[in-house]
A = this chain, B = another copy of it.
């Protein structure tokens, strides 16, 4: 032990740390040079230890470190780097006098006491590394809460899918994969799952609620199967059921339900996807022959992306402009045969194959062109419009525009099935990534064992916030389904808007969640065997089909605006006073200086605060968008231009509306949960959902002066804190989705 030993920790750190550089050696040299308690010989000796041209040997470094270790072991109360240096020097008085210089040296080298001392200490436990999964609620009860009334159908589907015939199939040989998916569809049809929503008279069970549960449960398996199933029994079958009449039901429905009659839903054309009102396929009526001639006037008017078309479809519901005696009666629907019973394409029908896609390669999407294809008069799906016996056009809905949207409106069920399917895929991804994060260890405290990556705060944010959102979307979609099942004609437009909006919100959520899951699983997430590949790529198109999300969100916004205008239009003076009073009340209770900067835990975690904040944002955005549009148009701008100028704002209007609905439904679900332990976990999830959304929108809240910076900062911390607190529940919460291992299938999530 010599007084020069005071330098050992500084030397050791300088030579071993990968962030220190030559500059540090220079700093040490200068420091040594000015210490008058060192002799020239001592200085010379010290200089040799920091000579860049002749570094100490590895053994010297090992020796230094072991001496430091010993000293720390002998003096467990050493609390700072200087204390350590002082002990190493044998409590030398010169060292003691130089204390300030040593402190300055540590600063120059950028060393932090606590951080550095840990490096020298023995392996130790930390809060971070000791966090782990705890079972604090009954997983089975949580599953019951999620599955609710349709648990039976869900269970049944999961059991069927867990049997050997449904083992996953290689998706790279497209032809074989398509056949496999078709076979799977037949097996499901044999189980009478395809016709479950059809009337009992046609082999069904009249059980629309279970149909949605089936779609949801199927989506824990191969998503090509879900889409093929949806095309056949949903789009093709339901278009016949809902746009056709008795004669069509009689003729087709039973065979559709058994998959004896595979068919397509041929709406989209190459040139018209979102703007379906502009479809160009024509159906020209000829009264003499009592037939329609279906025709594709140019290649851009071919049907495109049509599921079941490339291989298996024998018929299609074709949407085409109806022409009678030269008059265009807008888009109507017709049943058109495509192939004979042997699978041969019929005359006049030309079918193309869309070829390989990013995902869903088990679905045979194709193009269809019609060359003067003649079909009998009865093939018009004539629930909403028909040709009468005199050859004239007849409809209860006089406006072509309105009639077309009424027809589309009957098909709104698709916009419920799709987000429920997307959510299942997101749940699968989250279950895989969360289970992997719970077991995968990487890095750790110096000398300690490695830590499960789910213990890292950023990893928690990446997976637990989406987990909270998955629960939130689950209950919002249950609500949407209930609204749909119990709808009256009066609700139709509200439900259509809600379905369009939830379709967009949930499919976007699935896209983002699966992206996070992929990255959170690192290289393992890139291997197809772990299924995030298929989950992400198969659901990728969910944001586009059944209505492009951006277009749908504009529809939602327009609906909100129309509602808003009417509400104002209908207001009489006393309503107006009420409205102003409401706004004043908000100003008094929410937007006052105390509320704006209230950062107490009780307030930040208060569900009422969350809901008020969501509602405020919704109303404020809607009102300002309405005002802005009115101002632009009043100032002479073309309405079409005005909507374009405000397009970004319109999307925000729709988003805020849907976020509020989702929160409301999640909160309602929490309060209706009977099991107290499940309720407690859900409550935390719900708070995390709410606060993470507020955090996402904090720019808006600050702009609107609804919150001050101190509050949004406190919310960020609270989000981190909630993630930390929910971490032990993460695996049980993912397991509550009850995805059978046979379906989850990812080795990183199912193998020990």
Contact = CB atoms under 8 A, between A and B. Distances in A.
Interface string A125-143: 0111100000000000000
B648 A461 contact: yes
Contact of A275 (B107, B278, B450): B450
A355 B18 contact: no
A581 interface: no
B355 A457 contact: no
A565 interface: yes
A397 interface: yes
Given A108-B566, A358-B536, A526-B540, A402 B703 contact: no
B638 A118 contact: yes
Given A126-B640, A275-B443, A705 B709 contact: yes
A16 interface: yes
Contact of A442 (B60, B272, B699): B272
Interface in A334-378: 354-359
Most central of A19, A357, A450, A528 by chain B CB within 10 Å: A19
A114 interface: yes
A229 interface: no
Contact of A358 (B27, B304, B528): B528
A61 interface: yes
Given A114-B639, A527-B355, A458 B398 contact: no
Q: Give the interface residue-count category, chain A.
A: 35 or more
Interface stretch (A92-100, A412-420, A542-550, A601-609): A542-550
A172 interface: yes
Contacts of A124: 638
A450 to B, nearest CB: 7
Interface string A448-475: 1010000111110100000000000000
B399 A15 contact: yes
B126 A528 contact: no
A19 B562 contact: yes
B55 A397 contact: yes
Contacts of A456: 644, 647
A737 interface: no
Contacts of A533: 356-358, 537
A677 interface: no
A58 B525 CA distance: 57
A416 to B, nearest CB: 20
Contacts of A485: none
B397 A126 contact: no
- Is chain A's binding surface mostly helix, strand, loop or mixed? helix
Interface string A395-429: 11111111001100000000000000000000000
A509 to B, nearest CB: 14
Nearest to A27: B570
A608 to B, nearest CB: 23
Interface string A683-723: 00000000000000011001111000100110010001000
A337 to B, nearest CB: 25
Contacts of A634: 113-114
Number of copies of this chain in the oligomer? 2
A507 to B, nearest CB: 10
A184 interface: no
A654 B376 CA distance: 68
Interface stretch (A156-164, A220-228, A511-519, A591-599): A511-519
A709 B698 contact: no
A713 B705 CA distance: 12
Contact of A633 (B107, B114, B393): B114
A511 B516 CA distance: 11
Contacts of A644: 128, 455-457
B526 A396 contact: no
Contacts of A490: 21-22
A104 B397 CA distance: 27
A357 B640 contact: no
Contacts of A355: 527-529
A529 B353 CA distance: 12
A732 to B, nearest CB: 23
A57 interface: yes
Contacts of A198: none
A306 to B, nearest CB: 11
A629 interface: yes
A405 B278 contact: no
A615 B626 CA distance: 38
Contacts of A398: 15-16, 55-58, 60-61
11 contacts: A18-B405, A109-B569, A110-B562, A273-B442, A274-B522, A355-B527, A457-B645, A458-B550, A519-B549, A533-B537, A648-B720
Given A110-B563, A511-B515, 10 more contacts: A108-B566, A110-B564, A126-B641, A358-B536, A459-B550, A461-B648, A526-B541, A698-B702, A698-B703, A703-B712
Closest 7 CB pairs of A and B: A107-B569, A110-B565, A16-B399, A114-B633, A702-B702, A703-B709, A18-B405
